[in-house]
């Protein structure tokens, strides 16, 4: 299925993006007046004289020309040596290795929860009752994404802790178990994250629902749930997938606040501290890791498109028979989307309707 | 300079206040809502052994290299895991033997100190405390090692060399009289380290390496989770408490878990809801509510230089003493203390706190008198005002910048209030925004910071020198080469008076030298102290016997938990 040449091209792009992100971060961090070495050793708490600080600066190579430092750091990164934290002197790899798993777990659970939220909201907002005593459900849920996206993460986190931990005593924030420690942070991350996904899903479901091919399927007697699963979902999911690739950045930003509020030692927490201490080696490592995550997620999303939508396989799939069929149908503008859905399993449109009649 | 915040006008509510309203809401909910009141008995009773204390810090520790443990989270750990040659009584500030069997023998001009080392003391890695090891400790602390980015201790000056005399005695030599050394060996910045620990570089003392730090105090580090938690446990074999104490042997607690959370409402909420036992840094507005909940509140004095501002007289705008006197007269210190703090923050009556060494009562030196301020400024040539009402001279506005002292309580609120007070006499004050690094870096230049807000604590006369000498913290930026300003603007009298203080071996004469120096600061209108800064802690009622060392760092050796 996978085009090897395409994959290599994408990997090459990824490496380039990483290099550019690294360089941009290095340049920007160098432009900030003052550096971590002075920030740490000129701290009045140490009471060092100007001469002593100058000596230390010389020892640490902080005064070397920017290009030298850039090349040294780059070689270090390529060989897996991320350098040492300016603030504490600890190896950046140690600090990052301790922080990464916790953030990965939080990101994954937050993301999955956000998906559940988003799908539930989107389905209820588009398929909820239009009349009867429960018709408000639909209206309320339709505006939920705007509400969710406006909630400040730190406020939500603090509120969840106050209510569920301090008032109700359901979870402990002091030395909690590993699952217990994940519940509230996951909710905190998931709520704002679910908003854009839900918003896009609501829009695309509404759009797809009014498409001619859905009307046709409906006319052929398909039930609403069947149409949702087999016809609408498949088409509506593509914009959702695109937005998932884009919100990864939001996930990282959310982690900074969430981890700070919940006292979780993660990438977000070390970023917040590194920024306060001008700890450039750590910030560089975080930028590279975040870029890597971003590139990886978007690569996965790109590779998933053709798996979900057959119409997108044409340009780069290797199976000639399928390409022919799909491209033929996709080329017809009127029945395009209908065919796309119906041929999802690689069959022709007719049998689907037939199945439904049976 | 475009990022400087202009003085807030009287009535507008800006975005920041709304944000802080939102931030404060969380705290408000915890404190106002129905968390059960702690009603455990407060009576002391007989100490019992056992239990692990859960204690919250706002920030994670950064470095366990003793000379660098002035940072509160570092000091809170180092003070409990390390033992020192001498012990300083936090009440009387007198020195007593600890790992030295007696007070040191000092020669007449205080350039030689001889210590006799206690037998049978071991480090947590099993190695014994020996004179060689003690010598090795001070060779590092007294000189630093720049190749390993381990700085010299600011408390040890003029260090020349060590000399091991026999199997129990060690002598330290100094290039000039150093009367402050005896007290310096009693502080946590001189916590003794095992030989293997002394060979670590800065990386080894940082996060990730805590288990390799071996000390000989009542607790030892047993577990580290980078960034969130550090566990210390009691040493069963600890049998070398300062003989002056009634409690001997192992500590009552089985251990302490130092927990970290940057979010204030979570820390205070965890203690109020009983999930944690104690927290450092309770903010002044919450003191009353914490007490209403039945919790123990401790405001421990730090016995140092008072929280206050220093006028950097080398800056052209502040070089005229009339301007400095006018600023002092325009600022209402009592309003600052009354509006923003509690009685636990007493109004400063001198440059240093009442409990500090070298204290001199100078109350009355900083009278609030706006009329006098206006008169002085007019006299100094600042009589014209611009459209905004600020004073101008030769086209220049009387505009100054003060730093935000982030480690100090409510520095931003203090400065905002002073901003308003100064506005009334036509002086514009801007508050330097930004995080700790930006404050540190900006404070290095007269161009960016002209008024420096700070405090520093050490229970020794040398504290004055640490704060004001041009080779130390140099709050005035008074050293040649410290700044671009002309060398002729340096006031050499400051360093001269401090040298007198630092090299005078006789205690009574040191007191007089300290007083002379403080009088000089008042006479020249260089400083305006606000209040004596405490460290405020809160503990659950079941936590008994909480104490601090002389500058307010927690000391858990005598602490015990009821109901174990």
Q: Poorest-confidence range of A217-231, B308-322, B375-389?
A: A217-231
Question: Where does residue B270 fall: left (phi above 0), alpha (psi -120 to 50 degrees), or beta otherwise?
Answer: alpha
Write down how long chain B is: 564
- Which of A48, A99, A265 comes nearest B154 by C-beta? A48
pLDDT above 50: residue A341: no
Q: Tokens at residue B202, please?
A: 């800065």
User: How far apart are alpha carbons B262 and B558 in whole angstroms?
Assistant: 28
Over residues B119-130, mean pLDDT:
96
Predicted local confidence at residue B448, as pLDDT? 93
Which residues make beta-bridge pairs with B113?
B106, B172
- A59 close to B (CB below 8 A): yes
**Three-state SS across B190-217?**
HCCECHHHHCCCCCCCCCCCHHHCCECC
Which residues make beta-bridge pairs with B548?
B554
Q: Give the three-state DSSP class for B431.
A: strand
Predicted local confidence at residue B525, as pLDDT? 97
pLDDT above 50: residue A334: no
Q: B516-529 pLDDT, tens per residue?
A: 999 999 999 999 99
Task: Note whether A162 contacts B67, CB cutoff 8 Å.
Answer: no
pLDDT above 70: residue B86: yes
- Residue closest to A21 by CA, chosen among A293, A205, A251: A293
What confidence tier does A326 reach under pLDDT thresholds 50, 70, 90?
very low
Predicted local confidence at residue B27, as pLDDT? 55
What confidence tier does B554 reach under pLDDT thresholds 50, 70, 90?
very high
What confidence tier does A324 reach under pLDDT thresholds 50, 70, 90?
very low
Looking at beta carbons, which pairs linking B166-171 to residues 24 or more positions away fall under 8 Å? Answer: B166/B131, B167/B130, B167/B131, B168/B116, B168/B117, B168/B119, B168/B131, B169/B114, B169/B115, B169/B116, B169/B117, B169/B131, B170/B114, B170/B115, B170/B117, B170/B131, B170/B132, B170/B134, B170/B135, B171/B112, B171/B113, B171/B114, B171/B115
Predicted local confidence at residue B309, as pLDDT? 97
User: How far apart are alpha carbons A326 and A343 in whole angstroms?
Assistant: 8
User: Which residues of B fall within a CB distance of 8 Å from A29?
Assistant: none
What confidence tier does A339 reach under pLDDT thresholds 50, 70, 90?
very low
- Which residue on chain B is closest to A43 by alpha carbon? B440
User: Which residues of B fall within a CB distance of 8 Å from A173?
Assistant: 261, 266, 270, 275
On whether the CB atoms of residues B134 and B113 are closer than 8 A, the answer is no
Predicted local confidence at residue A154, as pLDDT? 87
pLDDT above 80: residue B22: no
Q: In sequence order, what are the residues at sequence separation of 6 or more whose Cβ sits closer than 8 angstroms to the Cβ of residue B285?
A: none
Q: B401-434 pLDDT, tens per residue?
A: 999 998 899 999 999 999 999 999 999 999 999 8
Q: A107-123 pLDDT, tens per residue?
A: 989 999 999 999 999 98
Task: Note whether B270 contacts A276, CB cutoff 8 Å.
Answer: no
What confidence tier does B335 reach under pLDDT thresholds 50, 70, 90?
very high
Which of A83-92, A242-251, B278-287 tops mean pLDDT? B278-287
User: Which residues of B fall within a CB distance of 8 Å from A99?
Assistant: 226-227
pLDDT above 70: residue A315: no
- Residue closest to B150 by CA, chosen among A56, A278, A63: A56
User: How far apart are alpha carbons B28 and B48 in whole angstroms?
Assistant: 36
Supply the DSSP string of B321-359, one letter for each residue: HHHHHHHHHH--HHHHHHHH--TTSPBPSSSB-TTSTT-
Over residues A218-232, mean pLDDT:
82
User: How far apart are alpha carbons A221 and A215 in whole angstroms?
Assistant: 10
- A131 close to B (CB below 8 A): no
User: How far apart are alpha carbons B550 and B188 in whole angstroms?
Assistant: 10
Q: In sequence order, what are the residues at sequence separation of 6 or more whose Cβ sits closer than 8 angstroms to the Cβ of residue A54?
A: none
pLDDT above 50: residue A343: no
**Three-state SS across B114-183?**
EEEECCCCECCCCCECCHHHHHHHHHHHHHCEHHHCECCCCCCCCEEEEEECCCCEEEEEECCCCCCHHH
On whether the CB atoms of residues B532 and B353 are closer than 8 A, the answer is yes
Over residues A266-287, mean pLDDT:
87
ipTM of predicted assembly, 2 dp: 0.73
Q: Percent of chain A at pLDDT above 90?
A: 15
User: How far apart are alpha carbons A265 and A58 in whole angstroms?
Assistant: 32
Predicted local confidence at residue A345, as pLDDT? 38
Q: Poorest-confidence range of A316-330, B410-424, B481-495?
A: A316-330
Predicted local confidence at residue B25, as pLDDT? 56
- Which of A56, A99, A162 comes nearest B30 by C-beta? A162
Predicted local confidence at residue B224, as pLDDT? 94
- Which residue on chain A is closest to B479 by alpha carbon? A50
What number of CA atoms fall less than 13 Å from residue B208's CA on the CB side?
21
pLDDT above 90: residue A333: no
User: How far apart are alpha carbons B326 and B376 in whole angstroms?
Assistant: 6
Distance of CA B250 to the CA centre of its chain: 29
- Residue closest to B228 by CA, chosen among B259, B263, B188: B259
Provide the greatest CA pair distance for chain B.
Answer: 77
Task: Note whether B266 contacts A273, CB cutoff 8 Å.
Answer: no
Predicted local confidence at residue B202, as pLDDT? 80
User: How far apart are alpha carbons B353 and B348 in whole angstroms?
Assistant: 7
User: How far apart are alpha carbons A162 and A167 in whole angstroms?
Assistant: 6
Mean pLDDT score of chain A: 79
**Terminal alpha carbon distance of chain A:** 33
Task: Note whether A46 contacts B261, CB cutoff 8 Å.
Answer: no
Q: A16-47 pLDDT, tens per residue?
A: 999 999 999 999 888 877 677 877 787 776 76
pLDDT above 50: residue A134: yes
Q: Poorest-confidence range of A243-252, B245-254, B337-346?
A: A243-252
pLDDT above 70: residue B6: no
Predicted local confidence at residue B416, as pLDDT? 97
Mean pLDDT score of chain B: 90
Supply the DSSP string of A215-253, one letter for each residue: HHHHHTT--HHHIIIIIIHHHHHHHHHHHHHHTHHHHHH
Q: Tokens at residue B297, please?
A: 């509140």
Which residues make beta-bridge pairs with A90?
none
- Which residue on chain A is closest to B269 by alpha carbon? A166
């Amino acid at each position: 299925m996978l085009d090897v040449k395409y994959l290599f091209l994408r990997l090459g792009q990824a490496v380039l993006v990483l290099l550019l992100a690294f360089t941009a971060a290095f340049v920007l961090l160098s432009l900030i007046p003052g550096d971590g070495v002075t920030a740490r050793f000129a701290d009045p708490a140490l009471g060092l004289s100007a001469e002593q600080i100058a000596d230390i600066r010389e020892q640490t190579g902080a005064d070397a020309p920017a290009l030298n430092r850039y090349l040294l750091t780059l070689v270090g990164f390529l060989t897996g040596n991320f350098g040492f934290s300016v603030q504490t002197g600890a190896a950046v790899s140690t600090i990052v290795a301790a922080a990464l798993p916790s953030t990965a777990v939080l990101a994954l659970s937050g993301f999955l929860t956000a998906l559940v939220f988003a799908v539930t909201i989107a389905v209820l907002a588009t398929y909820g009752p239009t009349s009867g005593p429960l018709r408000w459900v639909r209206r309320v849920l339709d505006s939920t994404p705007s509400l969710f996206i406006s909630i400040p993460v730190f406020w939500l986190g603090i509120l969840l802790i106050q209510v569920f931990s301090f008032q109700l005593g359901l979870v402990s924030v002091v030395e909690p178990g590993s699952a217990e420690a994940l519940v509230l942070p996951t909710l905190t991350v998931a709520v704002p994250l679910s908003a854009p996904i839900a918003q896009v899903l609501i829009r695309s479901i509404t759009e797809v629902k009014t498409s001619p091919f859905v009307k046709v399927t409906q006319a052929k007697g398909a039930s609403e749930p069947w149409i949702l699963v087999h016809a609408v979902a498949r088409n509506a999911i593509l914009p959702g997938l695109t937005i998932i690739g884009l919100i990864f950045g939001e996930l990282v930003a959310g982690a900074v606040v969430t981890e700070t509020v919940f006292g979780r030692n993660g990438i977000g927490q070390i970023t917040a501290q590194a920024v306060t201490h001008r700890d450039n080696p750590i910030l560089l490592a975080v930028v590279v890791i975040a870029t890597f995550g971003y590139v990886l997620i978007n690569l996965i999303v790109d590779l998933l498109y053709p798996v979900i939508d057959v119409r997108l396989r044409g340009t780069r799939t290797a199976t000639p028979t399928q390409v022919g069929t799909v491209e033929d149908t996709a080329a017809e503008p009127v029945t395009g989307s209908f065919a796309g859905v119906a041929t999802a399993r690689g069959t022709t449109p007719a049998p689907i309707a037939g199945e439904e009649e049976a | 300079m475009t990022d400087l915040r202009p003085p807030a006008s009287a009535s507008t509510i800006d975005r920041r206040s709304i944000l802080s309203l939102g931030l404060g809401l969380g705290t408000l909910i915890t404190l106002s809502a129905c968390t059960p009141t702690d009603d455990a008995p407060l009576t002391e009773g007989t100490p019992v052994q056992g239990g692990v204390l859960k204690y919250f810090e706002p920030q994670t520790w950064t470095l366990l290299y003793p000379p660098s443990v002035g940072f509160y989270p570092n000091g809170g750990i180092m003070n409990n895991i390390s033992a020192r040659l001498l012990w300083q009584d936090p009440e009387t500030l007198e020195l007593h033997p600890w790992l030295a069997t007696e007070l040191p023998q000092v020669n007449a001009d205080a350039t030689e100190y001889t210590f006799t080392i206690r037998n049978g003391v071991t480090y947590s890695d099993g190695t014994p405390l020996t004179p060689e090891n003690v010598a090795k400790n001070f060779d590092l602390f007294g000189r630093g090692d720049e190749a390993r980015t381990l700085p010299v201790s600011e408390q040890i000056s003029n260090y020349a060399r060590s000399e091991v005399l026999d199997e129990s005695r060690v002598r330290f030599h100094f290039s000039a009289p150093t009367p402050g050394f005896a007290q310096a060996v009693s502080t946590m910045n001189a916590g003794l380290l095992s030989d293997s620990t002394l060979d670590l570089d800065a990386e080894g003392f940082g996060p990730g390496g805590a288990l390799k730090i071996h000390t000989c105090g009542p607790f030892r580090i047993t577990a580290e989770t980078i960034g969130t938690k550090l566990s210390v446990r009691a040493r069963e074999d600890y049998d070398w408490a300062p003989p002056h104490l009634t409690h001997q042997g192992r500590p009552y607690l089985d251990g302490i878990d130092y927990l970290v959370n940057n979010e204030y409402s979570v820390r205070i909420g965890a203690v109020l809801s009983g999930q944690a036992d104690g927290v450092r840094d309770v903010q002044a507005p919450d003191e009353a509510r914490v007490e209403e909940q039945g919790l123990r509140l401790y405001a421990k004095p730090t016995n140092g230089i008072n929280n206050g501002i220093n006028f950097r007289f080398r800056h052209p705008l502040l070089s005229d003493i009339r301007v400095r006197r006018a600023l002092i007269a325009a600022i209402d210190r009592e309003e600052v203390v009354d509006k923003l703090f509690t009685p636990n923050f007493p109004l400063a009556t001198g440059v240093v706190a009442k409990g500090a060494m070298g204290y001199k009562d100078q109350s009355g030196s900083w009278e609030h008198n706006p009329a006098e301020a206006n008169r002085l400024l007019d006299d100094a040539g600042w009589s014209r005002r611009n459209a905004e009402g600020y004073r101008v001279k030769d086209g220049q506005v009387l505009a100054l910048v003060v730093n935000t002292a982030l480690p100090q309580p409510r520095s931003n609120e203090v400065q905002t209030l002073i901003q308003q007070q100064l506005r009334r006499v036509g002086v514009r004050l801007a508050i330097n925004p930004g995080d700790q690094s930006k404050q540190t870096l900006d404070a290095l230049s007269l161009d960016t910071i002209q008024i420096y807000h700070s405090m520093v604590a050490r229970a020794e006369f040398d504290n004055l020198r640490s704060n004001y000498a041009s080779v130390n913290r140099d709050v005035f930026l008074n050293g040649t080469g410290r700044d671009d300003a002309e060398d002729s603007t340096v006031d050499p009298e400051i360093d001269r008076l401090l040298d007198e203080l630092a090299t005078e071996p006789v205690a009574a004469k040191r007191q007089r030298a300290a007083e002379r120096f403080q009088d000089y600061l008042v006479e020249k209108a260089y400083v305006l102290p606000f209040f004596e800064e405490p460290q405020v802690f809160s503990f659950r009622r079941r936590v008994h016997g909480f104490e601090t060392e002389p500058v307010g760092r927690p000391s858990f050796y005598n602490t015990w938990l009821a109901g174990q």
